[in-house]
Amino acid sequence: MCEDELNCKEKIRAIHDTMDVLSGKWKVSIIACLCYQGMRFSELLREVEGISGRMLSRELKDLEMNKLIERTVVDTKPVSVFYKITDYGASLKELTDVIAEWGIKHRAMITEDFKKVTL
For residue 2, what pLDDT band results from cuts at 50, 70 and 90? low
Number of domains the chain is built from: 1
Where residue 106 sits, what CATH number does that domain have? Answer: 1.10.10.10
Distance linking the first and last C-alpha atoms of the chain:
39
- Alpha-carbon distance 36 to 93, whole Å? 9
What residues make up the domain containing 61? 5-118
The predicted-structure confidence for 16-31, as pLDDT tens digits, reads as follows: 999 999 999 999 999 9
**Quick check: 28 and 22 in contact, CB under 8 A?**
yes
Q: Which residue has the higher pLDDT, 5 or 34?
A: 34
For residue 118, what pLDDT band results from cuts at 50, 70 and 90? confident
The predicted-structure confidence for 96-115, as pLDDT tens digits, reads as follows: 999 999 999 999 999 887 77
1 pLDDT more than 60: no
The predicted-structure confidence for 31-76, as pLDDT tens digits, reads as follows: 999 999 999 999 999 999 999 999 999 999 999 999 999 999 999 8
- Alpha helices by DSSP H, listed for the chain, are 5-22, 27-36, 41-47, 53-65, 87-90, 93-118
